[in-house]
Amino acid sequence: MVSTKAKTGIGMAGRVFQQIQRVIDDTGGQSGTTIRVLQQAQGLVGYLPPPVLKTISRDLKIPLSEVYGIVSFYSFFTMVPKGKYVIQVCMGTSCYVKGGQRIIDTLKKDIRLEPGGITPDGKFSLETVRCLGCCGLSPVIAIGDDVHRKVKPSELKSILSSYR
Ligand code: FES
């Protein structure tokens, strides 16, 4: 017997692939539409897992290696799921010197979040970045559109709790 959860999961995936198929059909097989299709697929799924890339490669009739090449070239594409809120910890020189690594270590220890990872509830994912443009106020982190300056590791729990 198939559980309701499993049925729902298969149904959702099927619907998403149907929507991606519609996006591909809308392009009419024209060349130069790969980026648009990838953007719309990422909008639907939230990221670009290998089965989605294989579908796009097959249906647009372009080599899978080319699809992977595009996805890895443009930073706005991601092959890993992102959280509702993306935490960016600045690891540029100024922030690194002023404690960027301690922020990463605290996130690892307190909420088991590593760079490139996502919390089990899908709320937060973590990335490191090179400079957020306010080096004089380091260490700096960004959560979504919010920039937090002079962050102390001890403040992280309370900062994150305001996003829950
Ligand atoms: S080095 Fe972190 S904001 Fe510039």
Q: What pLDDT is attached to residue 5? A: 39
Stretches where the chain sits below pLDDT 50 are: 1-10
pLDDT at 8: 41
β-pairing verdict for 141-143 and 146-148: antiparallel
Residues with a CB atom less than 6 Å from ligand 1 = 90, 92-95, 131-135, 138, 140
Mutational test site, ligand 1, from 89, 95, 141, max ligand atoms within 8 Å of CB: 95
pLDDT tens digit string along 90-124?
999 999 999 999 999 999 999 999 998 999 999 99
Tell me what pLDDT residue 12 has: 63
- Helix or strand holding residue 141 (H, E): strand 141-143
User: What element of type H or E holds 19?
Assistant: helix 4-27
Whether the CB-CB separation of 115 and 105 falls below 8 Å is answered with: no
The pLDDT of residue 115: 93
| DSSP codes, 72-124 | HHSTT--SS---SEEEEEE-SHHHHHTTHHHHHHHHHHHH---TT-B-TTSSE
- Report if pTM > 0.75: no
Query: 156: CA distance to ligand 1 center in Å?
Result: 18
Q: What is the pLDDT of residue 139?
A: 97
pLDDT at 25: 84
Q: Give pLDDT, residue 31.
A: 63
Task: Tell me what pLDDT residue 159 has.
Answer: 95
